[in-house]
């Protein structure tokens, strides 16, 4: 398809927002190679590095989120918001997009608000099972709202909703036939069962402490652990690990080859971000989710419950993780029937081509404009 359309994609802050945005951009390029794409992110956030590394141009807004823990730190938020709105209006006036796409994150609000004021059609990609305040307000002028969970009409106008699932990193879920390569890559034993622990792109102190506190249990039960701790925590836990544990404990700041990590895993421990869940559904391995409490509206708990209600995941609360998480995982590894049921049930929830479904909607809207 040839369109020559200009599309602006806004959002970011975490990998859970950035990776779906990049997936949509790549799908647009596959379907219509002459599409011109511009990203808008938040200055100082990881999208300013990750998006250019993926081959796309990005412009940053000087915007921050609302700090719930320290209200005093919000004193300059109104000024940043006004400045971001002015810059967003200029970006749109200069780039003249046919469609704007918002994937969530700090920059998404000002950009889509400005698009609405300039009568530029826009699509919201809501990744979570609980919609945030910004997206609920933006939905009034949105042309389409692409969602990943059912029953989202309690947040958005039903006639605008399209159930698409969340875009995934296709290269990360391409695991078929890679187990042997994965074990060799991570220097793991084929005779041991493997736990994969990932706290997302930024790492999770709760998950890290849970793993570290149970290192002896993992070693004594002849298990092995691929542990993505996040770059912020890497030196701390690297220095804490006992010499001689490297045979069974593989610590990484960030996993560049998620496909091999997924392929090696017998059980996966993860936070419950919507983008991660979308990948886990396609991977089809038994999963133990520990929802982060440090997110708006506690949406990760709601995401996790959507799976647990279908026996597609086991959920351990953040409060209980340090005491019980690894025990739950060990018990699960010893229950092959439950592992099989979890794997089958989570695979039933998989949507592989969400990126292309959303890209098609974007291009359809662009053609109308």
Known binding-site positions for UDP-N-acetyl-alpha-D-glucosamine: 14-16, 128, 169, 201, 300
The encoded tokens of residue 166 equal 């969340």
Binding residues: 14-16, 128, 169, 201, 300
Measured CA to CA, the distance from residue 358 to residue 280 in angstroms comes to 20
């Amino acid at each position: 398809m040839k369109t020559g359309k200009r599309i602006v994609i806004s959002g970011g802050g975490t990998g859970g927002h950035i990776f779906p945005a990049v997936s949509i951009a790549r799908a647009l390029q596959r379907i219509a190679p002459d599409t011109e794409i511009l990203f808008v992110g938040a200055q100082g956030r990881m999208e300013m590095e990750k998006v250019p590394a993926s081959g796309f141009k990005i412009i940053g807004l000087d915007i921050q989120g609302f700090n719930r823990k320290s209200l005093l730190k919000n004193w300059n938020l109104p000024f940043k918001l006004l400045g971001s709105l002015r810059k967003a209006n200029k970006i749109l006036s200069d780039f003249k997009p046919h469609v704007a796409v918002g994937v969530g994150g700090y920059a998404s609000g000002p950009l889509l608000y400005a698009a609405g004021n300039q009568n530029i059609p826009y699509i919201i990609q809501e990744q979570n099972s609980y919609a945030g305040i910004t997206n609920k307000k933006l939905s009034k002028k949105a042309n389409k709202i692409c969602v990943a969970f059912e029953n989202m009409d309690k947040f958005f106008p039903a006639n605008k909703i399209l159930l698409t699932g969340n875009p995934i990193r296709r290269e990360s879920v391409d695991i078929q036939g890679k187990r042997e390569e994965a074990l060799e890559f991570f220097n793991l034993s084929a005779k041991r069962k493997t736990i994969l622990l990932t706290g997302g792109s930024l790492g999770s102190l709760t998950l890290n402490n849970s793993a570290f506190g149970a290192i002896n249990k993992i070693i004594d039960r002849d298990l092995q652990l691929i542990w993505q701790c996040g770059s912020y925590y890497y030196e701390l836990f690297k220095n804490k690990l006992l010499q001689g544990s490297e045979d069974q404990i593989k610590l990484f700041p960030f996993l560049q080859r998620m496909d091999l990590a997924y392929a090696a895993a017998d059980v996966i421990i993860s936070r419950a971000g919507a983008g991660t869940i979308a990948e886990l559904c396609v991977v089809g391995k038994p999963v133990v989710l520990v929802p982060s409490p440090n997110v708006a509206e506690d949406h990760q708990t709601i995401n996790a419950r959507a799976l647990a209600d279908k026996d597609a995941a086991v959920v351990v609360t953040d409060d209980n993780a340090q005491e019980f998480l690894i025990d739950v995982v060990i018990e699960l590894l010893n229950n092959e029937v439950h592992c099989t049921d979890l794997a089958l049930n989570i695979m039933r929830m998989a949507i592989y081509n969400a990126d292309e479904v959303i890209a098609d909607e974007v291009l359809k809207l662009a053609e109308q404009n």
